[in-house]
Amino acid sequence: MAEVGLSDILAAVLAFSLNAYVLFGGADFGGGVWDLLASGPRQRRQRDVIAHALGPIWEANHVWLILAIVITFTCFPAVYARLGTLLHIPLSLMLVGIVLRGSAFTFRTYDSQHDATQRRWGRIFASASVFTPVLLGVSIGAVASGRLAGNGTGTFVQQYVEPWFTPFGLSVGLLALVLFAFLAAVFLTLETSDRQLCDDFRWRALVTGVAVFFVSWLVLVLSRREAPLVTEGLLGSRWAIPLHVATAASAIGVLAALWYRRFRLARVGAGLQVSLIFWGWPLAQYPFLVPPDLTVEHAAAPDTTLKLVLIILGVGAIVLLPSLWYLFQVFKSAPADQETGHA
């Protein structure tokens, strides 16, 4: 293996911040999915649990996406320019989803508590929570499939639609949606002390956990034809077997933990499982950031910039980590719906 350069470190940081967005932002999106699918006798209370779980932190999770974007345009400007140009349509639609979702949630929290108003905001919030992850997945699928060569020829559809509107892209979109819903369901089991409510989310987690397995297979099968780099990486490379074994182990572990109501264990396991599935993507296409031509080394900004970004990340972490730790200390308390009054 070649020497690890500054650009490799920053590419790794980029992947980590996307991983964090998938975990934390993903759980937020998934919460919206379960808001949409809330059903049964405890429908209203399911929605309350979701709203409260999102409440204190929801603005903060976009920071991982912003961090990924900023690292991309500072350290890998060619990648940012390429994606901004060729994925204009899915990324713009994704933004519409992010805006509608975030605002609808705020408005629902602060607007009148009448049922009709609440439902209206709730519907916008929930439907945006479904289509935004799909578009995120579709964009990732387009990158992985190596169709973003950007030679600037062809019709509008050939240049700006065909690279992402593919069965493989859509399957990655579906995978993102199912993964986020799964994460949220697992996380939500710990957000309530009511056993019946907890069971609602437990069942949802078990069902989506199984769905994750099937959709992952679908993605892998479609990748053979449409994203050869991914297939090669996931089936042929040295890390492939350990990765699959670890993923399978954590998947089974999560299902077992859910079954036996070991919810804390399930939460950790689900985070691990989703991260492992996520990492299959950057590992498979390394050293490419945007196949078939933009590699980590090739697309990187000058070393001066890379060094400074690393320093800023370090200093930023020194400020942020204690602040975050303090935030969690302040909120370390009983499940949401047990708290009383005067918060």
Partner 1 sequence: MPDLLAARSQMAMSLAFHIIFAVVGIGMPVLMVIAERRWQKTGDSICLDLAKRWAKGTAILFAVGAVSGTVLSFELGLLWPKFMLMAGPIIGMPFSLEGFAFFTEAIFLGIYLYGWDRISPRAHLWAGVAVAVSGAASGVFVVIANAWMNSPTGFDLVDGHIVNIDPIAGMMNPMAFQQTLHMTLASYAATGFAVAGIHALLLLIDRTNAFHRRALSISLMLGAPAAVLQPVSGDISARSVARTQPAKLAAMEAHFETAASVPLTIGGWPDVERGETRYAIKIPYGLSLLAFHDPHAVVKGLNEFPREDWPHVPIVHTAFQIMVALGSYLALLSLWIGAMAIRRRDLVSNRLLLGAIALSAPMGFIAIEAGWTVTEVGRQPWIIYGVLRTADAVTPMPGLVIPFILSTLLYCFLGVIVAWLLYRQIIRSPKPTEWTRVYSPREVARG
Q: Minimum CB separation from partner 1 for residue 88, in Å?
A: 5
**Residues comprising the chain, all counted:** 343
Residue 11 is a binding residue for partner 1 (CB under 8 A): no
Report the residue from 8, 42, 109, 240 that binds partner 1 according to the rule CB under 8 A.
109
Stretch that binds partner 1, among 5-13, 176-184, 269-277, 305-313 (CB under 8 A): 305-313
91 is a site residue for partner 1 (CB under 8 A):
yes
Compute CA 300 distance to the chain's CA centroid, rounded to the nearest angstrom: 24
List Cα–Cα distances, 273 to 113, 140, 278, in angstroms. 38, 18, 9
Pairwise CA distance, residues 341 & 49, whole Å: 16
Task: Identify the H or E element spanning 80.
Answer: helix 77-86
Asked if 343 is part of the footprint of partner 1 (rule: CB under 8 A), the reply reads: yes
Q: Is the peptide bond before 322 cis (omega within 30 degrees of 0)?
A: no
Residues 243, 325: Cα–Cα separation, whole Å: 31
Query: Is residue 141 a contact partner of residue 166, using CB atoms and an 8 Å limit?
Result: yes
Q: Which of 15, 33, 53, 83 binds partner 1 (CB under 8 A)?
A: 83
Cβ closer to partner 1: 136 or 219?
A: 136
User: How far is it, in rounded angstroms, from Cα 171 to Cα 234?
Assistant: 16
For residues 63, 68, 72, 74, the Cα torsion angle rounded to the nearest 10 degrees is: 40
Residues with Cβ within 8 Å of 265's Cβ and at least 6 positions away in sequence, in order, are 253, 257
Give the contact letters, 131-170, x = binds to partner 1 (CB under 8 A), - = no.
---------------------x---x---x----------
Task: Name which position in 12, 13, 37, 63 contacts partner 1 (CB under 8 A).
Answer: 63
For partner 1, the binding residue among 40, 112, 236, 334 (CB under 8 A) is: 112
* Residues in touch with partner 1 (CB under 8 A): 48, 52, 56-60, 62-63, 65-67, 69-71, 73-75, 77-78, 80-85, 88, 91-92, 95-96, 98-100, 102-103, 105-107, 109-113, 152, 156, 160, 301-302, 304-305, 308-309, 312-313, 316, 319-320, 323-324, 326-327, 330-331, 333, 341-343
